Amino acid sequence: MWRRTGYCGELRASHVGQEVILMGWVHRRRDHGGLIFVDLRDREGQVQVVFNPERGQEAYEVARRMRPEYVGAIRGRVAMRPPGTENPALDTGQVEVLAEEARILNEARTPVFPIEEETAAAEEVRLAYRYLDLRRPSLQQNLRLRHRVYQVIRSFLDRNGFIEIETPVLTKSTPEGARDFLVPSRLSPGHFYALPQSPQLFKQLLMVAGFDSYFQIVKCYRDEDLRADRQPEFTQIDIEMSFVDREGVLPLMEELIAEIFQAAKGVKLPRPFPRLTFTESFDRYGLDNPDTRFEMDLTDLSEVVRGTEFRPFADALESGGVVKGINAHGCSDYSRKDIEELTDYIKVFGAKGLVPFRVTPEGVSSPMAKFFSPVLLEAIRGVLQGSPGDLLLLVADQPPVVAEALGRLRLKLAERLGLLDPHKFNPVWVTDFPLLEFDEKEGRWSAVHHPFTAPVGEDVPLFDTDPGRIRAQAYDLIINGQEVGGGSIRIHRREVQAKMFQVLGIGEEEARAKFGFLLEALEFGTPPHGGIAFGLDRLIMILTGAESIRDVIAFPKTQKGQCLMSKAPSPVDGAQLKELRIKLDLP
C-alpha cells in the first residue's frame, strides 16, 4: 500500500513541484474525453486532479472508471493551474495535481444523496445513511468544533485543579425527576439498574471522599419525549467543588465558558456575566431563561387599567391576576390576521386572548377602543412608551400565565422582526430560584432544582411556615435564551436534608431506601460543596448555530427515540428475555 504524503485539502501554491500521494473520496469527475478532472476529497477539503493520457495512460484509464464516492489514491506532481483556470472558490484552487499513477481503493454505490455542503435530502434519509451525511462539511465542522471544546474543557479544568473521575452508568433508580431508562439485572432477577439522569449523587460522594474538585464529560439518560434540543442520551459537563459558596463557583465557571467561546468562536465574552434573580427575570422577560439580546420588556399595567370596565381585564384583576404588556416597535401595520396568529400562538400557553393597541400619529386605536377612555388609552401608551408605528400587546390572566404568554410572544416577535442576532452571545446568570413549588396535581411540594439543593441560610426557618418562599442557592446559566447549565450549592448537613425530604413528603423509611447511602455519607464529615452541570450539546448548538441538537451529535435518534441507521431499539430473542426472567405483556 502507498503511504499518503498529506491531505488533499492542504495543498497550496507552496507545494508546487512536489510529488504527492493523496487518498480520498472522488467528489466529482468531469470527463472531457481526452482529459479527465477528478476532485479528490478528504476531511481537510478537496483538490483537483488532472488525468492526461499523455502523462499517464494507465492512470487515465483508472480515472475513466472512477465514480462519485469511490475511494481512490493518486500519485502525481503539484502544479500551478494554467493562468485563467484558477478556482477562487476552493482553498486549493491555485493548484492542481497532475496524476501519474492512480488506484481505486474501493468502489462505492451511487450515494443516496449527493455529498454537498447544503443537502436538500430529507432528514429521514440523512439519518438512515448517517455515515454519508457525516461526510458533509457542515457536520464535519460541527463535530470537530465539539472536539475542540472537549479539549478546552479538559485543559481548563485540569489547570484549575479539577480531577476527572468516571461514575457508574449502571446505577440506581431514584424517585423524582425524569423517567429512568432501566436495565434488567441477570444476576439479580427482577431487579433493575437505572441509567443515570446525571451523576448527581456520585459527584457529591466524591466531595465526601475528599477529591475537592471533580469534573466529568458524561452521558446522561432521560426517558422523556424529545424536542429539537432534547435527545434521550445527551452529554453534560459535570462539575463539583468543595468548600465553596456560590461566589466560589460562578466566577470560575464564567472563565471556563469564556475560554470555550474564545477557542471555538474567537468571541470575547465580557466578565462578570450579568445576573438576574428569578423574580427579576420572570417580571421582565416572563421566563426563567431570558434572551437578553434585545429589549421589549414586559411591563405591568395592572394599576393603570384598574377600574376599567373591559371585562377580561377587570375579571383578571378581581381574581388576583395581572395585566401586562409589551411594545412591539414598528408593528402597527400588523394585520388582523397577524394578530390572530399571535393570539393563537399564546393560547397554547393558556392565555385567553391578546388585546392589541396601535399607536398612530392620530393617537391610540384598537378594536377594543370603545371599552377604554381616551385618557386610559393615553395612559397605556405612556407606560409602554408607545410611539407612532408601535403595536402594544396586552394580556390579562394569573401571573404565571401572563408571564409565559408574553415571554413567548416576545421571542416570537423578535424572531419575526429579526432581532435575534446570531453573532451576538449574551450570557446571563439567573439566581435565587424558589427551592420548592407546589404540585397541584400531586397535592404536594416538589423540588424546583433537585432535593439536594441547599436553601438560602436565612430562609431555613420558612420550612415550617411558608415553604414556597424559601429561596434556593441555585443558579442557571442562560445564553441567548437557551439554558446551557444549572447547578447549586448542596445540602451538606444531615438535618437540613431531613427537613427537605420531610417537606417533599419523602418518609424516613423511603429516604433510607432510596438515598440511604447519601444520608449516611452526610454523617461522615461532608464538606460544604456545590457545583454545576452544563449541557454540552446545547452549548455546541449555540456555538455552531445549529437549529437541531441532531446536528451536533454524530449518531442521534429520531423523535420516537429510534436510530434509523441501526434500527435500535429492536426486539430481542426469547432466550435473552428468559435469561433475564422477563415476560412481555404487549397489547
Partner RNA sequence: GGGGUCGUAGUUCAGUCGGAUAGAACGCCGGCCUGUCACGCCGGAGGUCGCGAGUUCGAGUCUCGUCGGCCCCGCCA
In the block, which residue shows the cell 439580546?
293
Q: Which residue type does 65 have?
A: R
Residue 226 near RNA by CB under 7 A: yes
| CA separation for the pair 36, 485 (Å, rounded) | 53
Q: Which of 142, 167, 197, 480 binds RNA (CB under 7 A)?
A: 197
**Shortest spacing between CB 386 and RNA, in angstroms:** 29
Residue 13 near RNA by CB under 7 A: no
Residue 560 near RNA by CB under 7 A: yes
Return the number of the residue (34 or 266) whose C-beta is nearest RNA: 34
Report the first-to-last Cα separation within the chain, whole angstroms: 57
Residues whose CB is less than 8 angstroms from the CB of residue 487 and which lie 6 or more positions away in sequence, other chains included: 239, 249, 474, 475, 530, 531, 532, 533
Residue 195 near RNA by CB under 7 A: no
**What number of residues does the chain have?**
587
Residues 161-180 contacting RNA, CB under 7 A: 176-179
Residue 61 near RNA by CB under 7 A: no
CA atoms within 13 A on the CB side of 325: 27
Residue 50 near RNA by CB under 7 A: yes
**Shortest spacing between CB 126 and RNA, in angstroms:** 8
Residue 31 near RNA by CB under 7 A: yes
**Whole-Å CA distances, 334 to 267, 323, 416:** 36, 22, 11
Instruction: Quickly list DSSP for 486-527.
Output: EEEEBP-SHHHHHHHHHHTT--HHHHHHHHHHHHHHHTTTPP
List the grid coordinates of 390.
408601535
Residue 348 near RNA by CB under 7 A: yes
Q: Which of 182, 228, 568, 572 binds RNA (CB under 7 A)?
A: 228
Instruction: Quickly list DSSP for 189-219.
Output: TT-EEE--S-SHHHHHHHHHTT--EEEEEEE
Residues whose CB is less than 8 angstroms from the CB of residue 230 and which lie 6 or more positions away in sequence, other chains included: 224, 549
Residue 559 near RNA by CB under 7 A: yes
Report the candidate in 305, 316, 319, 404 with the shortest Cα–Cα distance to residue 357. Answer: 305
**Shortest spacing between CB 86 and RNA, in angstroms:** 6
Residue 110 near RNA by CB under 7 A: yes
With contacts defined by CB under 7 A, name the span among 137-145, 195-203, 370-378, 380-388 that binds RNA.
195-203
Q: Which of 3, 117, 118, 120 binds RNA (CB under 7 A)?
A: 120
In the block, which residue shows the cell 409589551?
326
Buried b (16+ CB within 10 A) or exposed e, 439-449: eeeeeebbbbb
Return the number of the residue (230 or 293) whose C-beta is nearest RNA: 230
**Shortest spacing between CB 512 and RNA, in angstroms:** 18
**Shortest spacing between CB 369 and RNA, in angstroms:** 32
Return the number of the residue (203 or 381) whose C-beta is nearest RNA: 203
Q: Which of 67, 103, 265, 412 binds RNA (CB under 7 A)?
A: 67
Residue 124 near RNA by CB under 7 A: yes
Return the number of the residue (105 or 251) whose C-beta is nearest RNA: 105
Residue 87 near RNA by CB under 7 A: yes
Residue 89 near RNA by CB under 7 A: yes
Residue 140 near RNA by CB under 7 A: no
**Shortest spacing between CB 117 and RNA, in angstroms:** 11
Residue 48 near RNA by CB under 7 A: yes
Handedness of CA 212, 216, 219, 224 (dihedral sign): positive
Residues whose CB is less than 8 angstroms from the CB of residue 557 and which lie 6 or more positions away in sequence, other chains included: 226, 231, 232, 233, 563
Residue 572 near RNA by CB under 7 A: no
| CA separation for the pair 1, 73 (Å, rounded) | 10
Residue 107 near RNA by CB under 7 A: no
Residues 405-464 contacting RNA, CB under 7 A: 446-451
Q: Which of 5, 18, 21, 81 binds RNA (CB under 7 A)?
A: 81
Q: Which of 417, 558, 580, 582 binds RNA (CB under 7 A)?
A: 558
Instruction: Quickly list DSSP for 30-58.
Output: EE-SS-EEEEEEETTEEEEEEE-TTT-HH
**Shortest spacing between CB 63 and RNA, in angstroms:** 11
With contacts defined by CB under 7 A, name the span among 49-57, 256-264, 271-279, 311-319 that binds RNA.
49-57
Q: Which of 12, 19, 30, 340 binds RNA (CB under 7 A)?
A: 30
Report the candidate in 128, 132, 267, 142 with the shortest Cα–Cα distance to residue 549. Answer: 142
Residue 186 near RNA by CB under 7 A: no
- From the number of C-beta atoms within 10 Å of its C-beta (0-12, 13-18, 19+), residue 267 rates as middle
**Shortest spacing between CB 549 and RNA, in angstroms:** 8
Q: Which of 5, 71, 114, 148 binds RNA (CB under 7 A)?
A: 114
Return the number of the residue (269 or 553) whose C-beta is nearest RNA: 553
Return the number of the residue (179 or 416) whose C-beta is nearest RNA: 179
Residue 519 near RNA by CB under 7 A: no
With residue 246 as reference, give the H or E element that holds it.
helix 246-265
Quote the Cα angle for 59-65-68, to 5°: 110
Report the candidate in 506, 498, 449 with the shortest Cα–Cα distance to residue 473. Answer: 449
Return the number of the residue (48 or 213) whose C-beta is nearest RNA: 48
For residue 217, the tally of other CB atoms under 10 A from its CB is: 17
Q: Kind of pairing, strands 95-106 and 45-51? A: parallel
**Shortest spacing between CB 296 and RNA, in angstroms:** 19
For residue 202, the tally of other CB atoms under 10 A from its CB is: 21
Residues near RNA (CB under 7 A):
28, 30-35, 37, 39, 48, 50, 52-54, 67-68, 81-82, 84-87, 89-90, 93, 96, 110, 112-114, 120-125, 127, 176-179, 197-198, 200, 222, 224-230, 348-349, 446-451, 548, 550, 558-560, 562, 564
